Structure 1
Amino acid sequence: MARLFIAEKPSLGRAIAAALPKPHKNQQGYIESANGDTVTWCIGHLLEQAEPDAYDEKYKSWNLQDLPIVPEQWLLKPRKSAAKQLSVVKKLAKQFNDIVHAGDPDREGQLLVDEVFDFIKLPQVKKQQIQRLLISDLNLSAVKKALGNLKSNQAFMPLSVSALARSRADWLYGMNMTRAYTLLGQQAGYKGVLSVGRVQTPVLGLVVRRDREIANFTPRAFYQLDAIIPHEGNDIRARWQPSEACKPWQDEEGRVLHRKLVENVATRISGQPAEVIEAERKNTKQGAPLPYSLSALQIDAAKRFNMSAADVLAHCQSLYEKHKAITYPRSDCRYLPKGHFSEAKDVVRAIAATADCLQQGVEGADLSLRSKAWNDSKVEAHHAIIPTSRSVKSLSSGEAKVYELVARQYLMQFYPPASFAEAKLVFSIAGGIFIAKGKKQLSAGWKALMPSKKKSAEEELEAIVPPLEKGTVLTCDRGEIKDCMTEPPKYFSEASLLQAMTGIARFVKDPEFKKILRDTDGLGTEATRAGILDLLFKRRLLQREGKQIRATPSGEGLIDALPEKSTYPDMTAHWERQLHDMAERKCPYKAFMQILEKEISEIMDTVKSQPIPHALKNLPNDVPAKRKRRSSGGRKKRYTTKA
């Protein structure tokens, strides 16, 4: 029986059609294959959340007393640019009994097609028979393999519910908070839109607090002490480890702040016996880093090429859709299915033909090696981003850089671990503890693939930490004091802000949440983080100063005006945990939404009952002219529904 495939986008649709029997008939908005199978597609989201005035005309004007806006029956509307394609999909869906959902293999891709089924009122009998096609590689062999492994779409409904909850929750929170604080800002004389979102605002809060920590930083002197212990013509340098008794003279990081204390210890150890109370020598190995998830790739591209997260994602999409040179890019996974190992030879051959700079790396790869990356238990909807078996010769500069990173990380999986010799000596001198330690690389392993850096002359490990036996007694010649100064934290860069978003537990205020959130996906998702940063720049809440990212005065004012809870990542990271649990049938949709609606109502009551926050007064009106015109009506979707 003929099937209808509904892909997420035209490029995916064409890739599916290429794997179906020929000849093909290209129609307006769909492709027919020789056996009657037909492929059509969405163009991203064909539908979008309706604006408030779709629920009630009075919401066309922004009014504080109308808040909160909480729809009783949620409405979707066709996107203007996609209305024609929606009609094509609707017409075809009525003609076919066998339908295959071919959205991207993630939460958003699942909802994107499922919501079309609901909108066109597809009969329940048809819905229950829909199959799911999961494609993470657009090359013909991979698509054919996926076509032979269709699953029931019903198994993915919790993923769809999770995405739906996130979409509606973002609308509720963003719409109401943005209207509320924009109206407060207008009352204070600000002419722009003060947008608020459950992800963008905590990210802005991170930057504001970091900027202020740097601005208010006062350098403090601290001191380190090394015991200099001569041995066979070389000096062993052992660092003093202050005891518990020294805590009153240390800061929270254990640095000694009083020079007289250090001078006293230096005097006491001079000429004294130095007994080895612990001796350790061992060889260690360090395995290759895992292949990339999108965030890990964006972080490395920012560090190496100063490339923005948005640019990395754009190049990835091009490499995936246009060139078919990498697998699905919006992945949060860093592992690969075991079955993919058999394709390594073809993938490495494609790397050799595509990236000249990796020729030597290809030649050194041992395809019999299998790193820990191949692990079926760690792979869910999609796997890590890796090259495909397709070679490409005409990449743009940005595409080539991103491909090089992805390909190098993949090649590392076929190199042995880097090996090191490590040594440690613990001395007791005049009742104090001093430690000398060193590390030396024995073999580069996968590190041979890393871009070369200038290396300083390396002392022999045996010279700086000689192989002494426990109980050996030497003589401390003297103590050397090093005068140091504390340094402020660094301003956020694109790379460090992305790292902060993925490792958000470090910045969570509530200690109980810290424990819960260490294993979450962080602020936002792989697919949305680049867009969130881009949004904050466009709305002039963040600005770039060289490689640094700083908050603008408007961004600072907004953070100061908002409830503290809205500016910390605790709330949004907790949301992500609940949404993740929802996708695994552990958290009900209704309970999640009811709690959120209650919280928003409480915030709106507070906003309406309190005076205009002082922080919103005297904000700079540096809003671009094209946005000033919208500040009073403010009905554009991008001001209200972004995370």
Structure 2
Amino acid sequence: MKLYIAEKPSLGRAIADVLPKPHKKQDGFIELGNGDCVTWCIGHLLEQAEPEDYDERYKKWLIQDLPIVPSEWKFKAKPKTKKQLATVKRLIKKASILVHAGDPDREGQLLVDEVIQEAKLSKTKKATVERVLISDLNPSAVKKALSQTKLNADFVPLSVSALARARADWLYGMNLTRAYTLAGQKAGIQGVLSVGRVQTPVLGLVVRRDEEIEHFVSKPFYEVTAVIRKVNGEQFDAKWVPSDACLPYMDEEKRVLVKSLAENVAGRIKDKPADLTALDQLPKKQNPPLPYNLSSLQIDANKRYAMSAKQVLDICQALYEKHKLITYPRSDNRYLPNDHYAERNDILAAILNNQGEEKQHIENADPNIKSKCWNNKKVEAHHAIIPTKKNLKTAQLGHQEQQVYGLICRQYLAQFYPPYEYSQTKAQLKIAGGMFVAKADTVINLGFKVLFKSNKKEQDEKKQLPQLNVGEPLHCIDGLVKEKHTQPPQFYTEATLLSAMTGIARYVKNGDIKKVLKETDGLGTEATRAGIIELLFKRRFLAREGKSIKSTDLGRGLINTIPVDLSLPDRTALWESQLTNIAQKAASYNQFMLPLQNELAELVDLSQTLNTEPLKGIKTASSFKRKGNYRKTGRRSTNKGKSK
């Protein structure tokens, strides 16, 4: 008997649908017409044991017990899914061939592997386990994936990487949460002070931004504009570019801070000839944006529809599992396999049928265009999020589902439009010894930008330059001084916080770490970032004010109490780099875990000597339960996907 083990019931049903009938629906599995079976996990059927499962004394939080580092790690059955675990284990023992059908990512690999490990298979049987990677739940895609199984043994490094991450998060979160909660009690904090390797640096980003805004002092600066007239009466503006001689009167961003200097320049250029010394006209081209990964979709949906990251993830899960209208949504990749190009006409037809984009835009797409998104070398376990070939018979989508589906369709459709082409013109002028510059873009072909409605309006608002030639007589009829004021940074929104998490390298000063961060996924993963943000709200470290995300007194107090490096992205980024190395067989489990265990002892000791003054006087909810609050909750636990 061949047994297919899916990650969740919806995937199990999709697999069974393309396998021999008739089917017998049993309790926790489906028996196929040929005697094979399909069963499923319901997220993680196993969870890491709690400290008190190792030793009863750990129920009480005491500093002298820290750090707690298990000598032998234990899993235990999750209470709500014990019955399904027993079903899967029983079927595993009966099966002659096993097919691992977890989601195509690190967590999906571990989720099924840990159940297979729990069943205690022989080495011989374990070596024959097959792996199938399914990223589209429509029958044709599932059938194709089932015909391309691989050996599960080839994915062991991916599973070890996920296991190392899970255990490291347990060690880090549990020990430091206990240590800093005990330290916080000295300042009168009644609740849990949760610390995590991802959540704490994200909180640090928000706290530092809020404090920067709070302490910001606006300063005036001055710009000089020359109003230039051609012989035929046409006019345009040119902006003054201060010379090095003006540096003592400018800030680090080369903004002029002295009004009298600006007024002097404006006075000197009025009613003076302007000499056009250089005219550059460069043709420019902008390619369509790549199809979405989860973070880029969440960012756009927040900007356009004010949806939270968690909302977008939940909607994507429904579009993937329930409606089968999109491919696997937890993807961190923005490229597509080359063989997907052959499906473009069917997908475009489905977009038209499902009203995913305006009919005119779909009909104007050129399916002969092949953008750079089709690239096998850039695709690993999963690919970009795109529409599937599924056609809805009637309008079955809710309003927000249609909005998210529309964004995904538009991004895919853009791959079949030409680049945006424009001419960039830069004119340099000398007026009374000073340098002035005028810039303008002229659209040649809107290309893919016709799909993005706001761009036409923006283009219409841009100033255009008249036809110019070097050496032609020009005259400066006036010099204008404009007073501006430096602006504080903006409070984070979900879109900008997600963007900061994915592009975290720009917040790091260390050059070596910055380089590592640029090569990794940033803070968290595509599938966990939404949960991280929600977790910080739940733990009352962050609060929403309209679209803005702001830190609470408790969040600020925590960040200003713990060692600075715990709230910086450096450590978590290096972790991700090391975990990637494990997955790629470039590093071992012990090379990652042993240094972490040594570091924990130092961090626990440090927690007892901290200045807890920033936490004093902060009211907390004493009802905040202790058990489990230290844990990273990014592990999948239900049909709805991950939370964190």
| Worse-matched range after superposition: 245-254 or 217-226 | 245-254
Verify the 8 A CA contact 2:449 2:455 in the aligned structure 1: no
Question: Aligned in 2, Cα 1:153/1:345: closer, same or farther, shift over 3 Å?
Answer: same
Q: In structure 1, the residue corresponding to 2:135 is in which secondary structure?
A: coil
Verify the 8 A CA contact 1:337 1:379 in the aligned structure 2: yes
Hey, what's the Cα distance between the residues in 2 that align with 1:146 and 1:359? 32
Hey, what's the Cα distance between the residues in 2 that align with 1:361 and 1:490? 35
Shift of 1:249: 1.7
| Worse-matched range after superposition: 448-457 or 23-32 | 448-457
Matched with 2:469 is 468
Q: Deviations over 1:186-226 (max 9, x none)?
A: 23221211111011001111111111111111010001112
Matched with 2:639 is none
Verify the 8 A CA contact 1:262 1:481 in the aligned structure 2: yes
* Identical positions, percent: 55
Q: Is 1:256 the equivalent of 2:256?
A: yes
Shift of 1:391: 2.1
Shift of 1:563: 0.5
Shift of 1:273: 3.7
Hey, what's the Cα distance between the residues in 2 that align with 1:460 and 1:194? 50
Which runs of structure 2 are paired with 1:225-374 in the superposition (5 Å)?
A: 225-231=224-230, 232-355=232-355, 358-374=358-374
Shift of 1:460: 9.2
Hey, what's the Cα distance between the residues in 2 that align with 1:113 and 1:276? 70
Matched with 2:186 is 187
Question: Aligned in 2, Cα 1:219/1:162: closer, same or farther, shift over 3 Å?
Answer: same
Q: Deviations over 1:19-63 (max 9, x none)?
A: 111111211111122223221111110111100011111100111
Q: In structure 1, the residue corresponding to 2:544 is in which secondary structure?
A: strand
Which runs of structure 2 are paired with 1:186-205 in the superposition (5 Å)?
A: 186-205=185-204
Verify the 8 A CA contact 1:289 1:412 in the aligned structure 2: yes
Hey, what's the Cα distance between the residues in 2 that align with 1:258 and 1:446? 44
Verify the 8 A CA contact 1:423 1:465 in the aligned structure 2: no
| Worse-matched range after superposition: 33-42 or 285-294 | 33-42
Please, which of 407, 426, 437 is the counterpart of residue 424 of structure 1?
426
Q: In structure 2, the residue corresponding to 1:492 is in which secondary structure?
A: coil
Verify the 8 A CA contact 2:494 2:549 in the aligned structure 1: yes
Q: Is 1:54 the equivalent of 2:50?
A: no
For 1:82, the aligned partner's letter is T
Q: Is 1:640 the equivalent of 2:631?
A: yes
For 2:171, the aligned partner's letter is L
> Mind listing any 5+ residue stretches in structure 2 that lack a counterpart?
635-644
For 2:258, the aligned partner's letter is H
TM-score calculated relative to the size of structure 1: 0.95
Hey, what's the Cα distance between the residues in 2 that align with 1:208 and 1:282? 43
Verify the 8 A CA contact 1:135 1:143 in the aligned structure 2: yes
Verify the 8 A CA contact 1:561 1:616 in the aligned structure 2: yes
Q: In structure 1, the residue corresponding to 2:515 is in which secondary structure?
A: helix
Q: In structure 1, the residue corresponding to 2:382 is in which secondary structure?
A: coil
Q: In structure 2, the residue corresponding to 1:477 is in which secondary structure?
A: strand
Matched with 1:446 is 448
Which runs of structure 2 are paired with 1:70-85 in the superposition (5 Å)?
A: 70-85=69-84
Verify the 8 A CA contact 2:561 2:615 in the aligned structure 1: yes
Matched with 1:144 is 143
| Worse-matched range after superposition: 218-227 or 29-38 | 29-38
Hey, what's the Cα distance between the residues in 2 that align with 1:459 and 1:202? 40
For 2:70, the aligned partner's letter is P
Verify the 8 A CA contact 1:158 1:582 in the aligned structure 2: yes
Q: In structure 1, the residue corresponding to 2:586 is in which secondary structure?
A: coil
Q: In structure 2, the residue corresponding to 1:196 is in which secondary structure?
A: coil
Matched with 1:575 is 575
> Mind listing any 5+ residue stretches in structure 1 that lack a counterpart?
none
Hey, what's the Cα distance between the residues in 2 that align with 1:7 and 1:68? 36
Shift of 1:472: 4.2
Verify the 8 A CA contact 2:29 2:39 in the aligned structure 1: yes
Which runs of structure 2 are paired with 1:30-179 in the superposition (5 Å)?
A: 30-179=29-178
Verify the 8 A CA contact 1:424 1:465 in the aligned structure 2: no
Matched with 2:638 is none
Q: Deviations over 1:416-462 (max 9, x none)?
A: 2222222111112333221111012233221111235783794897x
Hey, what's the Cα distance between the residues in 2 that align with 1:611 and 1:478? 62
For 2:630, the aligned partner's letter is Y
Q: In structure 1, the residue corresponding to 2:519 is in which secondary structure?
A: coil
Q: Deviations over 1:150-197 (max 9, x none)?
A: 111111111111111110111011001111111222232212111110
Shift of 1:464: 2.1
Shift of 1:611: 5.4
Verify the 8 A CA contact 2:191 2:623 in the aligned structure 1: no
| Worse-matched range after superposition: 136-145 or 252-261 | 252-261
Q: Deviations over 1:92-119 (max 9, x none)?
A: 1111221111100000001111111222
Q: Is 1:26 the equivalent of 2:25?
A: yes
Hey, what's the Cα distance between the residues in 2 that align with 1:122 and 1:251? 68
Verify the 8 A CA contact 2:186 2:612 in the aligned structure 1: no
Q: In structure 2, the residue corresponding to 1:5 is in which secondary structure?
A: strand
Verify the 8 A CA contact 1:508 1:569 in the aligned structure 2: yes
Q: Alignment RMSD, CA only? A: 1.8
Aligned residue-pair number: 631
Shift of 1:553: 0.3
Verify the 8 A CA contact 1:423 1:438 in the aligned structure 2: yes
Matched with 1:537 is 537
Q: In structure 2, the residue corresponding to 1:464 is in which secondary structure?
A: coil
Matched with 2:637 is none
Q: Deviations over 1:494-514 (max 9, x none)?
A: 100000000001112434322
Question: Aligned in 2, Cα 1:611/1:305: closer, same or farther, shift over 3 Å?
Answer: closer
Matched with 2:435 is 433
Hey, what's the Cα distance between the residues in 2 that align with 1:5 and 1:516? 38
Matched with 1:598 is 598
Hey, what's the Cα distance between the residues in 1 that align with 2:227 and 2:297? 44
Hey, what's the Cα distance between the residues in 1 that align with 2:436 and 2:600? 56
Hey, what's the Cα distance between the residues in 2 that align with 1:165 and 1:334? 26
Verify the 8 A CA contact 1:20 1:37 in the aligned structure 2: no
| Worse-matched range after superposition: 290-299 or 436-445 | 436-445
Verify the 8 A CA contact 1:199 1:572 in the aligned structure 2: yes
Verify the 8 A CA contact 2:351 2:357 in the aligned structure 1: no
For 1:299, the aligned partner's letter is I
Q: Deviations over 1:508-534 (max 9, x none)?
A: 243432232122201000010011011
Q: In structure 2, the residue corresponding to 1:517 is in which secondary structure?
A: helix
Question: Aligned in 2, Cα 1:509/1:453: closer, same or farther, shift over 3 Å?
Answer: closer
Verify the 8 A CA contact 1:438 1:465 in the aligned structure 2: no
Hey, what's the Cα distance between the residues in 1 that align with 2:126 and 2:187? 52
Verify the 8 A CA contact 2:356 2:409 in the aligned structure 1: no
Verify the 8 A CA contact 1:387 1:407 in the aligned structure 2: yes
